[in-house]
Amino acid sequence: MPVDIKNVLICDAVDKACVDLLQSNGIQVDTKLKLPVNELCAAVKNYNAVIVRSDTKITAEVLKAGTVEGGKLKAVGRAGAGVDNIDVAAATSHGVVVLNTPGGNSISACELTCLLIGTLARPIVPAARSMLEGRWDRKLYSGTELYGKTLAIVGLGRIGREVALRMKVWGMRIIGYDPITTEEEARAAGIEKMDLESIWPLADYITVHTPLIPQTRNLISSQTLAKCKVGVKVVNVARGGIIDEKAILDALNEGKCGGAAFDVYTEEPPVSEVTKKLIAHPKVVATPHLGASTAEAQVRVAVEVAEQFIALTGKSQKYT
Ligand code: NAD
Ligand code: MLT
């Protein structure tokens, strides 16, 4: 059954292509960024749909405000992969459709992962900083080759498999674990599928590409790190909380972990002392949730979310 979407509120920065496509299909669009929660609740009831990225939280309170007492809210769209910032259960109970754009930013998130793996092999970040400070310390910034090293990928979905294909070309052995992906699918991406217990002692690098769910919270912990090689390096471009930040900080300080790269954190922006110490650690490269922040990915997710809203109304219009 078509859903009547006459107007949309955009709450986080999305590419202009989204606005253009909605407007060219007769849908009115307003953009109100960084609304405090009381203003968001007051605004949302006047719109048929809301679009967010990761900053705005669409909580049960917001969904209730959007739907009770004449509220018009019918759909929430995430211009991105995860719907962690949307209370999907509350949306369902209020009859609000939740949409996302899971594939639009996979290549960008994959490429950031590969680049971060590179920065853990070669100390590019501290070396660049030393040049800015006017130093010329060639001996301090020697690294290691990726060639011949083993990369373990936990989560062999869209992004995990793309990472495998690229890092294989660098001459890495790629091993991985996923409860759903078949051995054949893994092999097609150059991955030797194994159980988790076999992975830990073999990995020189571990990168996680799972959703954050109860089964993956603290997937990399002090217990799992104890089973890893001394000097193992870890990367998280998936979701904060999959890697236990305190366990990594301790392992870095003890020399068990040889380096870590984080794009995502248990709280964003980070607030806890542990996360701040981790970010400041000399063996850590940290970026502020930039996995999807490329021109191409932002156009893709903007267009995909708009197309889905238009499809909901019963029309089908492709962006050109
Ligand atoms: P996907 O759904 O394609 O793949 C996830 C894979 O994880 C699936 O194959 C699933 O079977 C597997 N999985 C589930 N539970 C598991 C477990 N217990 N152990 C191992 N594997 C498990 O997702 P994707 O598009 O590849 O995204 C991966 C992650 O990256 C998500 O958390 C997503 O939100 C995140 N992401 C982050 C950014 C960023 O900006 N940093 C951008 C895009 C996506
Ligand atoms: C996503 O889920 O797609 C990512 O976290 C990126 C984002 O929303 O900016």
Nearest ligand for residue 298 CA:
2
Whether residue 317 is predicted with pLDDT greater than 80 in this model: the reply is no
pLDDT of residue 318: 60
The tally of CA atoms less than 13 A away on the side-chain side of residue 106 is: 16
Per-residue pLDDT, averaged over 105-134, amounts to: 98
pLDDT of residue 2: 87
Confidence of residue 275 (pLDDT cuts 50, 70, 90): very high
Among the atoms of ligand 1, which is closest to the Cα of residue 80?
43
Give the global pTM: 0.96
Whether residue 178 is predicted with pLDDT greater than 70 in this model: the reply is yes
Whether residue 135 is predicted with pLDDT greater than 90 in this model: the reply is yes
Residue-averaged pLDDT of the chain:
96
pLDDT of residue 1: 79
pLDDT of residue 37: 96
Residue 301 contacts residue 292 (beta carbons within 8 Å): yes
Catalytic member of 61, 217, 268, 281: 268
Per-residue pLDDT, averaged over 2-31, amounts to: 96
Distance CA 221, CA 247 (A): 6
| Ligand 2 binding site (Cβ under 6 Å of any ligand atom) | 53-54, 80-82, 105, 291-292
Per-residue burial over 277-296, b = 16 or more CB atoms within 10 Å of its CB, e = otherwise: ebbebebbbbbebebbbbee
Per-residue pLDDT, averaged over 183-194, amounts to: 98
Per-residue pLDDT, averaged over 126-150, amounts to: 97
The closest of 63, 64, 72 to 45, measured between CA atoms, is: 72
Per-residue pLDDT, averaged over 216-225, amounts to: 98
Catalytic member of 78, 209, 239, 300: 239
Per-residue pLDDT, averaged over 60-73, amounts to: 95
Confidence of residue 187 (pLDDT cuts 50, 70, 90): very high
Confidence of residue 159 (pLDDT cuts 50, 70, 90): very high
What is the whole-number distance in angstroms between the Cα of residue 209 and the centre of ligand 1? 4
Per-residue pLDDT, averaged over 12-37, amounts to: 96
pLDDT of residue 298: 97
Per-residue pLDDT, averaged over 72-96, amounts to: 96
pLDDT of residue 320: 60
Per-residue pLDDT, averaged over 230-235, amounts to: 98
Per-residue pLDDT, averaged over 153-177, amounts to: 98
Q: What percent of the chain has pLDDT over 70?
A: 98
Per-residue pLDDT, averaged over 174-187, amounts to: 98
| Per-residue three-class SS string for 25-80 | CCCEEEECCCCCHHHHHHHHCCCCEEEECCCCCECHHHHHHHHCCCCCCCEEEECC
Residue 77 contacts residue 54 (beta carbons within 8 Å): no
Nearest ligand for residue 103 CA:
1
pLDDT of residue 319: 60
Per-residue pLDDT, averaged over 212-231, amounts to: 98
**289 a catalytic residue:** yes
**273 a catalytic residue:** no
The residue whose CA is least distant from atom 25 of ligand 1 is: 158
Whether residue 316 is predicted with pLDDT greater than 90 in this model: the reply is no
Query: Which is higher by pLDDT, 314 or 96?
Result: 96
Among the atoms of ligand 1, which is closest to the Cα of residue 211?
32
- The secondary structure of residue 148, as a DSSP letter, is T
Whether residue 307 is predicted with pLDDT greater than 90 in this model: the reply is yes
Distance CA 43, CA 20 (A): 22
Per-residue pLDDT, averaged over 232-261, amounts to: 98
